[in-house]
Amino acid sequence: MKDTTTDTAASFTSFGLHPDLLSSILAAGYTTPTPIQAQALPVVMQGRDVMGAAQTGTGKTAAFSLPILHRLMPFATTSASPARHPVRALILTPTRELADQVGESVKLYCKNTPLRSAIVFGGVDINAQRDELRRGCEILIATPGRLLDHIEQKNVSLAQVGILVLDEADRMLDMGFLPDLDRIVRQLPAQRQSLLFSATFSPEIRKLGNNFLNNPVSIEVAARNATADTVKQIAFSAEGDEKRLAVMHIVRSKKLSQVIVFTNTKAGASRLARQLEREGLKAESIHGDKSQLERMKVLEAFKKDQVEVLVATDVAARGLDVAGVPCVINYDLPFNAEDYVHRIGRTGRAGASGEAIALVSSSDMHLWADIQKLTGKNTELQRLNLPSTPSRTPSRQRDNSRRTHKPQDEIFYKPYQPVASTAPKTQPAPRHNGNVGASQGKKRSVGILLGGGYY
Ligand code: AMP
């Protein structure tokens, strides 16, 4: 009989990774290296500097952490002495969420080794982090501001850091972290390996690379505008309140238990989550006005399937890694087409399939055109066939009806007839009062087919 266990790890084995790391990859269910892993692993293992263009979702965390851990294995010790566990690899990320995710991945990859890792970011109690740092760790994952606090408090020394990673460097620059980065890098030995990852290669990023990297190898796996082939892109025309009804219909008819819905504003995210909650969906919002603790709690609940719909703004969602999100909905289209690529990168990760649904109102047409241009796709705008009047039954009753209802996907996708396409672009879309009914549906300039009762 074929030994599938050996086969599974075979492609990773060819890199010569330490067996204790291979065993954790195997346990994590990784079968084949992703393109960025195939390119970066050998180069990083050799100790070369890297300038990598890769977005979240490509497997870039493993691409840099696995070879780093491999290089640190000679230093792995079971000694309890903090002095034997100095920080040897520093990974800087722009956001707390990304630090947490990278840190969790690193912990997973080195769980069969004595290597220690720690994650530090702001917005949470500093004392527990201080205690962990003082116990010693070979790998430190940090956001710049909190790391500087720890350096000032002398909770950590970076004098023995031999490897530096700047993850999502473009976002770090956008968020104004350059002075902090300069201060941190001044603490590091000049002789070190440095890796820089960024979704884009702007002139500013190249300048950063010139300053921090030494003769780097350039690795590029996905163009700036690339959307994964594994993501099926669908677009519906929807005006005003129909967008909310559409979200409910999509979640219910497709029986989705994990959906990320993007809005453009923090207030919009909170409002939509509250409305969906009132309609009986388990919804939460995640945005910049929430405390770090609240954000982490919401994210945990979402990962554990306790929250069906996560309504998020771009900043809060950047880098979110929730394995296997089957669907991302763009409730608001982003003003910047590149954000669309980031948003839908939350689904279809590392080869898994996913669906990205855009809800496009007539006033969004110019944004939709920008997105189509950037992604080089021509996604047909379809009519939404929404159920008739939404019920106002108590949430518990609605919840039951949802579980017993037969999905009506057959009425869901209808080719869009651009009824409103002759209307001038500047003319605002007619807004209805939220009480969607068949007669209103017929009157609207962007047509909505209203199907049989669903709720
Ligand atoms: P990242 O781009 O690093 O955020 O990774 C995206 C997701 O892909 C994470 O959930 C990883 O656990 C997963 N992943 C990374 N590498 C592989 C692989 N070779 N096979 C399967 N999943 C992977």
Distance 135 CA to ligand 1 centre (A): 30
CB 233 within 8 Å of CB 344? yes
Take atom 10 of ligand 1 and give the residue whose Cα is closest. Answer: 323
Q: Which atom of ligand 1 lies closest to the CA of 61?
A: 3
HEC states along 63-91? HHHHHHHHHHHHHCCCCCCHHHCCCCEEE
140: left (phi over 0), alpha (psi -120 to 50) or beta: beta
Take atom 20 of ligand 1 and give the residue whose Cα is closest. Answer: 30
Distance 45 CA to ligand 1 centre (A): 19
Amino acid identity at 150: H
Q: Which atom of ligand 1 lies closest to the CA of 57?
A: 2
CB 104 within 8 Å of CB 84? no
Q: What is the dihedral of CA 158, 159, 162, 165, to 10 degrees?
A: 30
117: left (phi over 0), alpha (psi -120 to 50) or beta: beta
CB 343 within 8 Å of CB 314? yes
Nearest to 289 by CA among 308, 273, 305: 273
SS3 258: coil
Q: Which atom of ligand 1 lies closest to the CA of 33?
A: 19
pLDDT at residue 427 in the model: 34
Distance 29 CA to ligand 1 centre (A): 10
Distance 185 CA to ligand 1 centre (A): 28
Mean pLDDT by 10 residues, the chain (455 residues): 39 90 91 87 96 82 97 97 97 92 96 97 94 97 97 97 95 91 95 92 87 91 61 88 92 88 93 94 88 84 90 74 78 87 74 83 91 84 72 39 33 36 34 28 24 19
Q: Which residue segments constitute the domains of the chain, with CATH numbers given?
A: 5-220 (3.40.50.300), 231-415 (3.40.50.300)
Give the pairing of strands 381-386 and 413-415.
antiparallel
Buried b (16+ CB within 10 A) or exposed e, 90-99: bbbbbbbbbb
Structure-block tokens of residue 211: 């300053």
Distance 392 CA to ligand 1 centre (A): 42
Question: How many beta carbons lie within 10 A of that of residue 222, not counting itself?
Answer: 18
Distance 58 CA to ligand 1 centre (A): 7
Take atom 5 of ligand 1 and give the residue whose Cα is closest. Answer: 59
Residue that is written with structure tokens 């330490």 in the block: 18
In a mutational test of the pocket of ligand 1, which residue from 8, 11, 30 has the highest number of ligand atoms less than 8 Å from its CB?
Answer: 30
Helices (H), 14-78: 19-28, 35-45, 60-72
Q: How far is CA 221 from CA 194, 197, 199, 225, 320, in A?
A: 19, 11, 10, 12, 20
Take atom 16 of ligand 1 and give the residue whose Cα is closest. Answer: 59
Q: How far is CA 100 from CA 91, 140, 366, 408, in A?
A: 11, 11, 36, 39
What is the value of pTM for the model shown?
Answer: 0.60
Distance CA 139, CA 128 (A): 17
Ligand 1 neighbours (beta carbon < 6 A) = 30-34, 37, 56-62, 321, 323, 349-350
Take atom 6 of ligand 1 and give the residue whose Cα is closest. Answer: 57
Distance 323 CA to ligand 1 centre (A): 8
- Integer-rounded Cα Rg, in Å, for the chain is 24
Structure-block tokens of residue 385: 């066939």
Q: Which residues pair with 117 in a beta bridge?
A: 139
pLDDT at residue 29 in the model: 85
Distance CA 210, CA 177 (A): 17
Nearest to 382 by CA among 348, 346, 357, 354: 357
Q: Which atom of ligand 1 lies closest to the CA of 108?
A: 12
Q: What is the DSSP letter of 158?
A: -
Distance 350 CA to ligand 1 centre (A): 5
SS3 209: helix
Question: How many beta carbons lie within 10 A of that of residue 87, not counting itself?
Answer: 24
Nearest to 322 by CA among 297, 305, 340, 338: 305
Measure the N-to-C terminal CA separation of the chain; round to a whole number of Å: 51
